[in-house]
Chain A
């Protein structure tokens, strides 16, 4: 039955890329651009609606299966049905503009129905001149040049390397951009300053709040100072000798001081390179040993990324990135965690006591369960535009290698945009590796998701 559904989905994607698209066929070749099409309105309303069913083949021997499903029997597969509506709205008057992006999720999973409404962004923007912009409200900053990871994105939530282009929820900030252009090797200079307050239980609590038992890792919060805090960051951007360069600094009460630099440059008409480097002062890492004792160590560390984007004559795009995550766990720490989960599960089976598994669950939520929680990764995405003359059809293949434990995630994908404003995507994720490795301990052997998104 499920195979039949999968076949129908793939068939529908091909059909939408070819046959159905004929709906838009014009009877007569008439090319015109009506002025009504370009009339500017002070307001804008738009967004998309999405349906995303997900089929997961469960791996009952995996650590994250044991953590999540130890007291349930969900059979061999799980099916989730996810619905999403995302609304964008803006209104402009003179130098002022208000913008909001609201996300509504409705999901039916093994835990039943759930829904969540989140303001992803909502801010007021003032532009007294083309050189100055002031923004106040909730917004995403998305600093950094990397595609899958951004070690210098000190003020953003970490993105999912499996879907790096998804919109993310922002933080409440006040920011100012000053821009200056020049002639000569330095073409552009801009400076961005950001003020980010944390008011416990009210504003930006999850940026680094009070009473957090375990800090999150990577680019997220660590519980350096609890309670209300003030944070500030600055970014100096230069377009110098045809190279984008950013210098970034962050300091404040919620996280330790950190510095970053990134760059991006076109080497030729089809070849781009980019990189990021971040230095974290007094980074606090909390980890567990195989007997369940929590340890904490504080150290200065660095994360960096080097990447390229290359387009061949056959319209194949390669994105390759190497990422060193200095805030991640070592192989030994990873194995201790998985060993602790195994022991906790065995204790549960023997005694029915699940307190150790609850501890493991909490650790998973705060660090070990984050995407790519270890030290060294390689990311490769290969996408082919319109192969075999199938229009608006882009197959892609993404792999993420954990270079420390040699586990790997393989993700083939088919994308069809044959019908205006409708995007269909079929994607599979296949984690592979030996026991006690990152991808092998995922709760599923495979995950297949179909996403139908309609823009309005």
Chain B
């Protein structure tokens, strides 16, 4: 009888110790992808069914959970354009036009499979709640639900490596479970500054059959910025942060 009581007590103590906190896991995945505040260089390549490519090089800065800005460094036709995101608000600055104009998350400033929400992506934990976590082999499967209607994808399924706690695949879905796009995280590398993470995100979409877009990460460095950097007035000056 004493053994049974001890077993019950141990079970009640042990279960909380092993229960997986999905939200905490998501925060950890976010931190393994990027520091909360950083500077980053990326290249985005749109690949068409015939193999034709268009390449864009971007410098991005992020602060906290809801502030991110990106500056186009190439090609020449896009150079100097910058985008800013503050929470659900997004703007595009085109040097010729001269003033920032509001853009929406489902548009794409570069065309291809990546939309503005993908290019100016915030932490997953900032935009999604974890509804459920499944474990299978060496992977977690996180079921994410958007916190608000203004998030670009209503549902997200995220497969993450158990040991490294970084995503390997993400499916972006509508409220009715229609697949919008799939992101494949590949080629884990040390991106300087102690960040070891997938250096390539490959994506395809049933909405863009036979097209794909690739995001390549070169340098991610932890860096802190003043809030004033993430304002419309500062958009023409983002290059001064490099």
Interface, chain A (partner B; CB < 8 A) = 21-22, 24-26, 31-33, 35, 37-38, 40, 44, 46, 48, 88, 92, 97, 125, 127, 129-131, 133, 140-145, 147, 165-168, 177, 179-182, 187-188, 190, 192, 237, 239, 242, 244, 264-266, 268-272, 274, 309, 311, 317, 385-386, 391-392, 417, 420-421, 423, 455-456
Contacts and interface: CB of A to CB of B under 8 A. Distances in A.
19 contacts: A25-B50, A25-B51, A26-B53, A31-B200, A33-B217, A38-B59, A167-B96, A181-B230, A190-B232, A239-B89, A266-B88, A268-B149, A268-B150, A270-B107, A272-B103, A385-B111, A392-B54, A417-B77, A455-B76
A145 B174 CA distance: 31
Contacts of B233: 133, 177, 179, 188, 190, 192, 237
Contacts of A385: 111
Contacts of B94: 165
A31 B88 contact: no
A271 B104 CA distance: 7
Given A32-B216, A165-B94, A311-B106, 10 more contacts: A25-B50, A33-B217, A46-B79, A165-B96, A177-B233, A179-B233, A181-B226, A188-B231, A239-B86, A274-B102
B229 A130 contact: yes
Interface string B213-234: 0101111000001111111111
B77 A455 contact: yes
A272 B104 CA distance: 7
B43 A33 contact: yes
A268 to B, nearest CB: 7
B206 interface: no
A130 B77 contact: no
A392 B104 contact: no
A73 to B, nearest CB: 39
Contacts of A420: 54-55, 75, 77
A269 B53 contact: no
B200 A270 contact: no
B111 A392 contact: yes
B3 interface: no
Interface in B76-110: 76-77, 79-80, 86-90, 94-99, 101-107
A130 B225 CA distance: 9
Chain B contact patch, size range? 35 or more
A264 B97 contact: no
B57 interface: yes
B240 A22 contact: no
Contact of B89 (A46, A242, A455): A242
Query: Which among B94, B149, B234 has the greatest number of chain A C-beta atoms within 10 A?
Result: B234
B41 interface: yes
B7 interface: no
A38 B75 contact: no
A25 B150 contact: no
A209 to B, nearest CB: 24
A165 B101 CA distance: 11
Which 3 pairs across A and B sit closest by C-beta, in order of nearness?
A181-B227, A142-B98, A142-B99
